[in-house]
């Protein structure tokens, strides 16, 4: 997830309140107490959770020397970067050298540019504005940019009951919509989109906050591009929710339910030969997502059906992609 900070210097209570309500990660202020009276949020201040000059520094880039200074300081601290004419080139150079760069911006346009520098974007955004409406707009932009995924059609090649095992339901603090789901896989190299329990059925009432996700060992994709085992998800953590077009957003985990159920193996392959597989509960209410956004129950799934998934960089170490020889099958 990209960090979203809001600069409330000089003190702007309305912008600070809007930042907290919009899900900002931190507020920059002259006094941490002004912020703490409004809500629980990370403060960046001389007396804050993050201290200026120690944890966070600011650099203004006007020339190559300033750029080099920011890159050097960004090796072990968070660096807030301001450019004199707000050009992308210095940010490109900095992003290539450091994962701790926060770009100071004044509006949605500048934020959008910074979020896509060298495709991966900066570590975060520091918004300097006196307009609460701009705070809301940039917050929405960052939310939508934080978890987008490239979904492609996979062709089902195999469906096979595999016996009893432990599966996980992921209950979120969000109301999910038809076409929404979470990406999971038996391996980290390719995942399938499992539909949320939003649809009416004759067996149980819809649970539009829930995804009946898969077996305990499966990987789930997180908003920052990392993965986690389904069994390791915890209350208050975050997972990636994606619609059928790949527009992702973060959802907070409210709880997980692990129960012993009959399981089913689904295998599929995309047009480039990437193979995905996932073990799911064998029940009518468990659905995968078709390219048009419709849901297909696993009991009706057949070889040749098209379902959505994504191919990823394989090989993970504590959830992070690594470039080493790892074979998963």
- The 3-state DSSP class for residue 5 equals strand
- The dihedral built from the CA positions of residue 39, 43, 45 and 49, taken in this order, carries a sign that is positive
Kindly state whether residue 129 falls inside one of the protein's structural domains.
Answer: yes
Question: What string of DSSP letters covers 23-68?
Answer: T-SEEE-S-HHHHHTT---EEESTTSSB-BTTTEEEEEESSHHHHH
Asked whether the beta carbons of 253 and 235 are under 8 A apart, the reply is yes
**Within 13 Å, how many C-alpha atoms sit on residue 280's CB side?**
31
Kindly state whether residue 315 falls inside one of the protein's structural domains.
Answer: yes
Domain identity same for 230 and 134: no
The whole-number pLDDT of residue 75 equals 66
**Within 13 Å, how many C-alpha atoms sit on residue 72's CB side?**
7
- Alpha-carbon distance of 189 to 312, in angstroms, equals 5
Domain identity same for 135 and 218: no
The string of pLDDT tens digits covering residues 258-267 is 999 999 999 9
Kindly state whether residue 267 falls inside one of the protein's structural domains.
Answer: yes
Domain boundary among 93, 123, 145: 145
Domain boundary among 101, 121, 145: 145
Q: Which domain holds residue 58?
A: 3-145
Q: How many independent structural domains does the chain possess?
A: 2
In this predicted structure, the answer to whether residue 62 has a pLDDT above a threshold of 80 is: no
- Alpha-carbon distance of 256 to 275, in angstroms, equals 28
The whole-number pLDDT of residue 325 equals 46
Domain identity same for 164 and 311: yes
Kindly state whether residue 300 falls inside one of the protein's structural domains.
Answer: yes
Domain identity same for 162 and 99: no
Crossing angle for the helix pair 64-73 and 88-97, to the nearest 10 degrees: 30
Domain identity same for 81 and 214: no
- Alpha-carbon distance of 275 to 158, in angstroms, equals 11
Asked whether the beta carbons of 17 and 35 are under 8 A apart, the reply is no
Domain identity same for 38 and 97: yes
What percent of the chain stands above pLDDT 70?
A: 83
Domain identity same for 9 and 140: yes
The whole-number pLDDT of residue 199 equals 93
The string of pLDDT tens digits covering residues 305-323 is 999 999 986 554 444 454 5
The whole-number pLDDT of residue 45 equals 96
- Alpha-carbon distance of 282 to 298, in angstroms, equals 7
- Alpha-carbon distance of 35 to 8, in angstroms, equals 9
Domain identity same for 156 and 289: yes
The whole-number pLDDT of residue 265 equals 98
Kindly state whether residue 80 falls inside one of the protein's structural domains.
Answer: yes
Q: What is the mean pLDDT of residues 175-199?
A: 96
- The 3-state DSSP class for residue 136 equals helix
- Alpha-carbon distance of 135 to 94, in angstroms, equals 25
Kindly state whether residue 33 falls inside one of the protein's structural domains.
Answer: yes
Position with higher pLDDT, 167 vs 203: 167
Kindly state whether residue 329 falls inside one of the protein's structural domains.
Answer: no
The string of pLDDT tens digits covering residues 103-141 is 899 999 888 887 776 455 678 899 999 999 999 999 988
The whole-number pLDDT of residue 322 equals 45
Q: What is the mean pLDDT of residues 241-252?
A: 91
Domain boundary among 145, 179, 203: 145
The whole-number pLDDT of residue 122 equals 76
Domain identity same for 74 and 123: yes
- The dihedral built from the CA positions of residue 156, 220, 174 and 27, taken in this order, carries a sign that is negative
In this predicted structure, the answer to whether residue 249 has a pLDDT above a threshold of 90 is: no
The whole-number pLDDT of residue 316 equals 44
The string of pLDDT tens digits covering residues 131-162 is 999 999 999 888 766 557 899 999 999 999 99
In this predicted structure, the answer to whether residue 95 has a pLDDT above a threshold of 60 is: yes
Residue that the structure tokens 């150079």 belong to: 93
Q: What is the mean pLDDT of the chain?
A: 88
Kindly state whether residue 218 falls inside one of the protein's structural domains.
Answer: yes
The whole-number pLDDT of residue 117 equals 63
User: Of the spans 221-225, 236-240, 265-269, which averages the highest pLDDT?
Assistant: 265-269
In this predicted structure, the answer to whether residue 238 has a pLDDT above a threshold of 70 is: yes
In this predicted structure, the answer to whether residue 66 has a pLDDT above a threshold of 70 is: no
The CATH number that applies at residue 54 is 3.20.20.70
In this structure, of 12-16, 73-77, 181-185, 279-283, the range with the lowest mean pLDDT score is 73-77
* Range 204-208, long-range pairs (CB < 8 A, 24+ positions): 204/285, 207/171, 208/175, 208/176, 208/177
Domain identity same for 176 and 305: yes
Domain identity same for 219 and 99: no
Domain identity same for 108 and 194: no
């Amino acid at each position: 997830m990209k960090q979203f900070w809001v600069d409330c210097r000089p003190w702007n209570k309305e912008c600070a309140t809007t930042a907290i309500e919009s899900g900002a990660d931190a507020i920059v202020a002259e006094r941490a107490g002004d912020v703490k009276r409004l809500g629980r949020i990370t403060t960046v201040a001389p007396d804050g959770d993050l201290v200026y000059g120690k944890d966070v520094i600011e650099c203004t880039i006007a020339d190559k020397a300033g750029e080099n200074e920011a890159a050097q300081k960004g090796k072990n601290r968070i660096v807030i970067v301001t450019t004199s004419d707000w050009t992308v080139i210095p940010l490109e150079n900095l992003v290539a050298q450091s994962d701790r760069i926060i770009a100071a911006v004044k509006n949605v346009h500048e934020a959008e540019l910074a979020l896509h520098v060298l495709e991966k974007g900066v570590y975060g955004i520091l918004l300097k504005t006196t307009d609460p409406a701009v705070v809301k707009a940039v917050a929405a932009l960052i939310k939508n940019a934080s978890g987008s995924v490239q979904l492609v059609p996979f062709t089902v090649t195999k469906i096979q009951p595999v016996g009893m095992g432990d599966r996980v339901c992921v209950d979120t603090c969000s109301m999910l919509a038809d076409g929404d789901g979470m990406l999971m896989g038996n391996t980290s190299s390719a995942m399938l989109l499992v539909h949320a329990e939003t649809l009416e059925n004759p067996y149980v009432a819809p649970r539009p906050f829930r995804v009946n996700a898969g077996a305990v060992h499966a990987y789930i994709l997180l908003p920052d591009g990392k993965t986690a085992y389904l069994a390791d998800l915890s209350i208050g953590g975050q997972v990636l929710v994606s619609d059928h077009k790949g527009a992702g957003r973060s959802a907070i985990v409210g709880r997980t339910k692990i129960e012993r159920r009959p399981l089913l193996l689904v295998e599929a392959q995309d047009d480039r030969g990437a193979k995905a597989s996932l073990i799911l509960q064998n029940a009518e209410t468990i659905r995968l997502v078709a390219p048009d956004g419709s849901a297909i129950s696993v009991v009706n799934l057949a070889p040749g059906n098209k379902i959505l998934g994504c191919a990823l960089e394989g090989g993970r170490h504590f959830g992070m992609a690594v470039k080493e020889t790892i074979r998963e099958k």
